[in-house]
Amino acid sequence: MRSQPAILTQMDITTDGFGYMLNMGDLAWVPFIYSLQARYLAFNPVVLGNLRSAALIIANCVGYYIFRASNNEKDEFRKGGNPKSEYGY
């Protein structure tokens, strides 16, 4: 799957320049959310076990695949390479 060409056609990049929300998320929300989760786990340790850990890894992989496949399909549709674009839906 391609990543770079599809990213450059996203609405934050094309319409908003780089995008206020993209900047805000990169500089404020990502560090806050990740450090908050790490702090919680530091004071409240959780033992998942093998089955739950495997389920989380599988769910993460499926979610990542759906995310990448939908972005690539959207990119192909914009370029006119998706056969669905010929029929108007």
pLDDT, tens digit, 9 for 90 and up, residues 3-54: 566 666 666 666 666 667 777 778 888 888 889 888 998 999 899 999 999 9
Higher pLDDT, 67 or 5: 67
**In the prediction, which pLDDT does 50 show?**
97
Please name the residue that has the structure tokens 């919680």.
40
Q: Which of 22-26, 61-65, 81-85 has the highest mean pLDDT?
A: 61-65
Beta-strand ranges (E) seen in the chain are: none
Its pTM stands at 0.54
